[in-house]
Structure 1
Amino acid sequence: MSEEAIAKSCPFCCRNCNCKACLHNSEIVKLIIDSFVPLWTGLELSEIEVPQVVLRSNERLFCNNCKTTIVDYYRSCPRCSYDLCLTCCREIRDGCLQGGVNMYTSHFDRGKAYLHGGESLPLPSGKKSGIRFSSKKRMRKISQWKARENGDIPCPVNKLGGCGHEYLELKCIFANGWLSELKVKAKKLVKVHNLVDRPHHSGQSCSCFKLNGQIDPCSKSLRKAASREGVSDNYLYCPSATDVQHESLEHFKSHWIKGEPVIITNVLDYSSGLSWEPIVMSRAVRDTSYSKGSQKLVVKTVDCLDLCYMEGRTHSNSWPVILKLKDWPPSSLFEERLPRHGAEFMNILPYKDYTHPYSGILNIATKLPPDFLKPDLGPKAYIAYGVAEELGRGDSVTKLHCDMSDAVNVLMHTAKVDYSSKQVAEIEKLKRKHAIQDRREFFNPLYARDETFDMNHSKSEEKLRPISSMQSNTLSLNGKDGGALWDIFRREDVPKLGEYLRNHHKEFRHVYCSPVEQVVHPIHDQTFYLNMYHKKKLKEEFGVEPWSFVQQLGEAVLIPAGCPHQVRNLMSCTKIALDFVSPENINECIRLTDEFRTLPRNHRAKKDKLQVKKMCLHAIDYVVQGLEKLTE
């Protein structure tokens, strides 16, 4: 055949190829370029030669004021190298600079007796617990930092981290004109591949719905997780690992693009049978450390798990001891510390096109260049004791928070902890003391010993019962012992959720079991866990109900970026989690980045670890270069 005849017959040359590579490339262009639209604004300049800085390999620039990653253009002091992002520059000119306030948190130990309803030790004289913000002097300095009439911005004074002598000069990281050229190329490819104005999804109902558009409650791929009225999202997509292997991504995408969590069952069916017991993992870490000549072993908590993870530990008053190991390892690669376990986890990951940290074609985080300082997205281990009963204090929980990226969390191992009848009786006594203390501190002291007063969030009048008998049918365990109770809130419910927490924040306890005195951000502070009482009250006052479900052994939970969530371990659990960045949720990641930058400078959620805006630029460049080669 002639070259011309081949070209006429070739699906790729006719731009009608349906092979996996072409479909994925087209999908990447559609999703990534669409998500890149918010970044065009404010990144282009007129034809001005801007000095380009040369960064060392793995070097990254942060704004000295708001701590956000600098993407390309920024201003810098020629004398002291104080760097300021364009957003902060714009806010200074508008007289509304954010993100430069410091916060100081003070927590005082009120004594062991206070933890279980006793009297508090006297607080240090002249000091208050809670949160303090920057001094009036610093606030005055921030308000005095103004731009000149021509728009020039002076370097801030020494108290704000600058030198106060020079004016900030415009600089860039990428070559001049690179962004504009990238935009032109991307728009051209959108047109060539007929992606203009194409919807992200067809809008047609997936197989989870009947022909009349109603949810099919008999579907084996659905799990009821809420009882909201007048909506169709009370059920979550819950395929088995086998279904995931044989189905296309389209069904998953139809749920994922709506911001719905997805639960995948039986992922351990594809494992080799490697044990994920903490004692086995601990030995593997020791073996790896010794073989590499390192005497540094895993954190001390793991050494305690030999028996207590299985059998539990208690304080002298019979109250359960709850220990947690989270975000391990803190910096070094999981695969280096536990190579066999790391390989096993990668093998069982569902939807690898999205979740795999190295080869996921739809994972935007994989598009970073080799010399780029990559964010630490995991995998990470979370090992914790857990009990089925809701204790009210000291529960094995991950408090309410919102991740900047998407995440997948797999429950790899569980162990049930049982208590003797004597210990249960002692726990009941302590819970009654907790309830009296809560009434005294949260409400009118006159109600402190009124057993009829409805402060039932501590459930002191109920016998200790497992979650399966206390929760509604929504959380049916299907005859199994559950591993972890998840509550995931919809993005559209975040404003009402935040309002509820601000209104009721003093009804929650945090460090040293002290009441939460102040709130900076109700979700990003990570100080709240909504127990059954507060979830009920939230629905009564605001009509907000989370997706609530129990994660079983071998189940993977995919959480979309921007969905606040909390977790309580019903058994001792070993979970492995991994972050990823999907094209569908890039805009949400960008929104969260902008939200985090307004937090106080030393807030726990402040640092821009993800660098999602820069990640988008490299992803677009990667896709554009790849498709240009294919279309040459």
Structure 2
Amino acid sequence: MYAEAENLLSSARYFEALHREELDFSDKQPGEVFACLTQNRTCGELISQDKTVYGEIPKCRECVSAQQNGRSSDRLCRFQDFRTFIFRRNVVKPSVGFLKYSYISNPEEFEPWLPTKSALQTSPEKLKLSAGKMLSNVGDCFCRIVREEQEVLDLHSKSCEVQNYKPSVAYKRLPPLVRDICDVCETTLFNLHWICKECGFGVCIDCYKENKADEERDPDDKALLRRRIWPPCTKENPDHCSTDLMLTQLIPGSLLFDMSEAMHALRDELKREWRAGQPVIVSNIGKRMDLSLWRPSKFSDDFGEEEHDLVNCLTDKVLVNQPMKKFWDGFDDKKKRMLCGNGLPMLLKLKDWPPGADFADVMPDRFRDVMQALPIPPFTRRDGIMNLASYLPSQFLPPDLGPKMYIAYGSAGNPMLGTTNLHLDISDAVNVMAYVGSSGELQDELKKATRALMLAGVDLSTLEAINETDRLPGALWHIYEAKDAPVIRRFLRKIAAEKGHRVKADSDPIHDQQTYLDDTLRERLREEYGVLGYGFVQCLGDAVFIPAGAPHQVRNLLNCIKVAEDFVSSETLEKCFELTKEFRRLSAAHANREDKLQIKNIVYQSIRQALSVLLPETILFVCVFVGIDFGPANMQRTEKHLDAALDAMIQRVTDLKNAIAQVIAKIDVERDTLKWPSLLDSYGLL
């Protein structure tokens, strides 16, 4: 066994010693611990390597599923780089454990979490301005996350104290390019969560709290019992119980709380920014685009041979794997459209295209064209300095924020029919109209479109401007403010009850996207609930900004090709955070349930980036921290470095206060003769 363990050590990707002196294999006492290995491959590969040593080790649920289905797992092995084996001399089978933060000796593990020098190609002044704005707007969300995590640790410590255990938290390495999710609600796991030691089942803080609260209530309550049912353990299929799970962290050590303290030291000196929550429309960005790339005939040439699912808006039925050429040909000629069973032309739409693949890879020319034309690029571009999603490190699986295309035939003659029913999105978005066209008699369709706009309450000045400039009205939008969403829900439930429809407890009348508010319903919403949205028309080249959480709907008046890019701004981050909690309560089969945005990771990384810019002294802290040797002498040196960094930070804050006081005094004395540009340059204020 001694030789076998030594061979294993030589081939392991990761090796952590319990003590440095234990790396010496000479003169070991029987039964003494001499090494701790981290599982460096899948459960199946590990057992195949040596059944004598690992044959009785339980497999994780991913490896069990892969073995049963005869295929590779869609997710990584739950125990790879996480489960540990403690070897003792003259003992064949190892003891099983899990990584702890104190085992870490590799500095690279800290890189996704610690403040570092910014790699963004922009001026230091703009970096500081954006970082200050970020701290001001994102800080509240970050504090909420930190408080929630601290509450979990406090409860864990109390529970361990009652059971006379020493509090311990396992540490799981961040899996590269994999979004670790809760096995119950599919929300992204941010840091603290619970894991089953036998199968790797993972559950988030919210689901754990709900389950634990339900366990303490009436055990015969069937509704609570249904909610308590978690996927069974793969080891002999016992039910998972909250008390049997192991608390686990993803962020090393106390780094989350260290980041919080650093943020508060700076944030107290910053002003809060005004938060906007209304839709915005920017006209004529089409002048910066090559519109020939966005014509239906061009798409037919490039993608006509492919197949894709289409939706018939007349029946809301999905047509699976339809030839794209038929769809594109019907864009310009209504006679070439596919027909319904009653012989009428279908009203087709193609949404969220291209599916799965990155737009930049599938259509690189069009990607470059729309990216260079987007208004307010610091917010809307993937790499925009104010787009918080851009701060996720390369080790994280990036959220799919687009671009995506929304393409549909016009329905000006169908006032009760929407192209996109009322819904809301978890992030901000900008939607660009890249093509508007007709497939029949243009003048007749324009008359229908004008009537639709008048009934929708679009102001006369807008209609006159469209007529004077010959701009084709592409789509009719209605956007409501995010604060009105709860009232709109009550209204939609009332409408459903009037129609005799049963509303399920885990459904949502907005997220289900089943209703288009026609003229009659919009008027009832205004009269009965006092809610009035923003109705406007989107023409060729117009970009519509939709705030996160704002309910909205779209009705194509003429044939439209739109392309949308999502982004995450600090102004609406509170709403993104709220919606993530809201979405996880939807049914398991709901399309919106999965936490694709990873909002907690985005909040953390935004704060990390802001601190990297505003606190360069923390770079010294990083270098010391990741290379730390936990011996007494090195601990003393580390404390000196930390004291020096803290003194430097306090001095910077003092200098800032003094500069502000001097500015105020100068304004009081020289108010009438001041030259403001010179004053601002002198004191470096932006």
TM-score of the superposed pair, with normalisation by structure 1: 0.66
Unaligned runs of 5+ residues in structure 1 are 1-16, 99-135, 146-154, 202-256, 290-297, 425-461, 509-514
Secondary structure in 2 matching 1:625: helix
Q: 1:631 to 1:610 in 2, by over 3 A?
A: closer
Deviates more, 1:267-276 or 1:345-354: 267-276
Counterpart contact for 1:278–1:302, Cα < 8 Å:
no
Q: Cα deviation per residue 1:176-206 (whole Å; 9 max; x = unaligned)?
A: 2111111112122324xx21xx2313xxxxx
Preserved CA contact (<8 Å) 1:35 1:583: no
Residue 627 (str. 1) matches residue 649 (str. 2): no
The question of 1:566 aligning with 2:584 is answered no
- What's 2:434 paired with? 412
- Inter-partner Cα distance in structure 2 for 1:21 and 1:522: 42
1:531 aligns with 2:518: yes
CA deviation after TM superposition for structure 1 residue 420, in Å: 11
Which of 351, 354, 359 is matched with 1:329 structurally? 354
Change over 3 Å in CA distance of 1:631–1:65 after alignment to 2 = closer
CA offset at residue 501 of structure 1?
0.6
Aligned mate of 2:170, from 40, 48, 51: 51
Tell me which residue corresponds to 1:488.
479
**Does residue 73 of structure 1 match 2:210?**
no
Contact 2:458/2:535 (CA < 8 Å) preserved in 1?
no
In structure 2, the CA distance between the partners of 1:622 and 1:138, relative to structure 1 (3 Å rule), is farther
Is 564-573 or 381-390 further displaced after alignment?
381-390
User: Residue in 2 aligned with 1:474?
Assistant: 459
Residue 609 of structure 2 aligns to a residue in which SS?
Answer: helix
Deviations 1:268-310 (A, max 9, x none): 1222444311221343457999xxxxxxxx9745312443112
Is 1:22 paired with 2:128? yes
Give the length in aligned residue pairs: 456
1:22 positional shift:
2.9
Contact 2:198 2:233 in 1 (8 A): no
SS in 1 for 2:459: helix
Q: Which amino acid in 1 is paired with 2:333? A: E
Q: Counterpart of 1:263?
A: 281
Aligned to 1:217: none
**Percent identity of paired positions between Structure 1 and Structure 2:** 32
Amino acid at match of 1:200: E
Question: Alpha-carbon deviation of 1:539?
Answer: 1.3
The 8 Å contact of residues 385 and 396 in structure 1, kept in 2 or not, is answered as no
Structure 2 CA distance for aligned equivalents of residues 349 and 332 of structure 1: 21
Select between 534-543 and 359-368 the one with higher mean Cα deviation: 534-543
Q: Which residue of 2 aligns with 1:294?
A: none
- Following the alignment from structure 2 to structure 1, what is the Cα–Cα distance between the partners of residues 456 and 253? 60
5 Å-filtered alignment, 1:166-185, equals: 167-185=244-262
Cα distance, 1:86 vs. partner? 1.4
Task: Measure the CA separation in 2 of the matches of 1:64 and 1:372.
Answer: 19
Give ranges in structure 2 of 5+ residues lacking alignment: 1-122, 158-166, 308-319, 620-686
Give the aligned partner of residue 188 of structure 1.
265
SS of the residue 2:239 aligns to: coil
Greater RCO, 1 or 2 (C-alpha within 8 Å, sep 6+): 1
| Structure 1 residues 582 and 529: CA distance shift in structure 2, 3 A | same
- Equivalent-residue separation in structure 2 for 1:548 and 1:336 (angstroms): 35
CA-to-aligned-CA distance 1:476-497 (integer Å, 9 cap, x gap): 4332431001111112221221
Which amino acid is the alignment partner of residue 407 of structure 1? Answer: A
Rounded Cα–Cα distance in structure 1 between residues aligned with 2:553 and 2:612: 41
Q: Secondary structure at the match of 1:275?
A: helix
Moved beyond 6 Å, runs of 4+: 286-289, 462-465
Show CA shifts across 1:377-431 (max 9, x none).
Answer: 1001111111322253xx451111110111110000011233699x99xxxxxxx
Q: Is the 8 A contact 1:384 1:396 kept in 2?
A: no
Would the alpha carbon gap of residues 405 and 263 (structure 1) be closer, same or farther in structure 2, given more than 3 Å must change? same
RMSD: 3.5
Instruction: Provide the C-alpha distance between the structure 2 equivalents of 1:463 and 1:258, rounded to a whole number of angstroms.
Output: 34
Q: State how far apart, in whole Å, the 1-side matches of 2:523 and 2:216 are.
A: 39
CA contact (8 A) 1:507 1:516 kept: yes
**CA positional deviation for 1:561:** 0.4
Q: Please point out which of 409, 422, 436 is paired with 1:400.
A: 422
**Cα distance in 2, alignment partners of residues 407 and 623 from structure 1:** 23
Aligned mates of 1:482, 1:558 — CA distance in 2: 17
Match of 2:543 in 1: 556
Quote the residue 1:352 is aligned against. 377
Quick check: 2:449–2:557 contact (8 Å CA) kept in 1?
A: no
Change (3 A) 1:573 1:58: same
Q: Which piece of structure 1 moves more, 63-72 or 28-37? A: 28-37
Which residue in the other structure is 1:505 paired with? 496
Alignment of 1:154-169 (within 5 A): 157=232, 163-164=238-239, 167-169=244-246
Q: Which deviates the most, 615-624 or 173-182? A: 615-624
* SS of structure 2 residue aligned to 1:324: strand
Q: CA offsets, 1:350-378, max 9 Å, x none? A: 11110101x20010100000111111110
**Please, which of 512, 537, 545 is the counterpart of residue 532 of structure 2?**
545
* 1:517 shift after superposition: 4.7
For residue 412 of structure 1, give the secondary structure of its aligned residue in structure 2: strand
C-alpha change, 1:543 and 1:469, in structure 2 (3 Å) is closer
**The residue matched to 2:432 in structure 1 has which SS?**
strand
Output the CA distance in 2 between the equivalents of 1:316 and 1:79: 54
Q: Deviations over 1:324-350 (max 9, x none)?
A: 111011111111111111100001001
| Distance change (3 Å), C-alpha of 1:73 and 1:545 | same
**Per the alignment, do residues 586 and 420 of structure 1 end up closer, same or farther by CA in structure 2, a change over 3 Å counting?**
closer
CA shift at 1:33, angstroms? 2.4
Q: C-alpha distance in 2, partners of 1:29/1:463?
A: 49
User: Is the counterpart of residue 575 in structure 1 residue 562 in structure 2?
Assistant: yes
> Quick one: distance in 2 between partners of 1:283 and 1:185?
55
Alignment match, 1:452: none
Q: Could you tell me which residue of structure 2 aligns to residue 38 of structure 1?
A: 144
Give a deviation string over 1:116-146, Cα, whole Å, max 9, x none: xxxxxxxxxxxxxxxxxxxx9985644677x
The answer to whether the Cα contact below 8 Å between 1:288 and 1:338 also exists between their aligned partners in 2 is: no
CA distance in 1, matches of 2:492, 2:182: 31
CA distance in 2, matches of 1:545, 1:64: 40
Instruction: Indicate the residue corresponding to 2:393 in structure 1.
Output: 369
Q: Which has the higher helix share?
A: 2
Q: Say whether residues 1:379 and 2:379 are aligned partners.
A: no
